[in-house]
Chain A
């Protein structure tokens, strides 16, 4: 199952709720303001490292670029995908949940 999170983890609880309810083995795609959770050295880094042991985590490249986040600042293990990769993730998962 693909979960998408589009909220900054510093402002909203969407990421926390996603991590609470996503089953182990799920895919999580961070997009829009959700991509801020992918950055190293923040207060949510530990949470993301923990998440990486249970889930495959992706961040949407165009949204990282728009926000001036270079890929070398991302937490190791988070994979960057484009919109085509987003489509592939949605198509290959059994179902999709957008944590709006």
Chain B
């Protein structure tokens, strides 16, 4: 079965990203396909590499990146939501004249159309949020 995963909240503030991660991992362990993980609303904050949690806590951002590497997951951060919240990649930084970018490894920024396309391609879309 093909699952699409939608993450609507940032890391740490809300459990949504943890639940989404655990669901995604369990689905992959069972041999299901993850069409895409789409980060929307404050969920775009899952995609900043500047996150520095305390040593004794999980690193939610890196955890997504590592899972993406292992399973070749498509981690997409919504561009419109990202621009509002200051999540930028090198191209976006250049286009908008910013002095830095902060997108984490394994994530990329793309349009909202990717969310709709995920809904079209997936058998189920699982939304995690507040």
Q: Residues of A at under 8 Å CB distance from B?
A: 6, 31-33, 62-63, 82-84, 86-88, 90-91, 93, 95-96, 98, 100
B128→A98 contact, CB < 8 A: yes
Q: Residues of B at under 8 Å CB distance from A?
A: 1, 3, 8, 15-16, 19, 22-23, 25-27, 29-30, 32, 123-130
A87→B23 contact, CB < 8 A: yes
B25→A83 contact, CB < 8 A: yes
Number of contacts between A and B (CB, 8 Å)? 48
Contacts of A100 in B (CB 8 A): 8, 127-130
A83→B22 contact, CB < 8 A: yes
Chain B residue at minimal CB-CB distance from A98: B127
A96→B124 contact, CB < 8 A: yes
Shortest C-beta distance, A65 to chain B (Å), equals 13
A91→B129 contact, CB < 8 A: no
Shortest C-beta distance, A42 to chain B (Å), equals 21
Chain B residue at minimal CB-CB distance from A12: B130
Contacts of B30 in A (CB 8 A): 84, 87-88
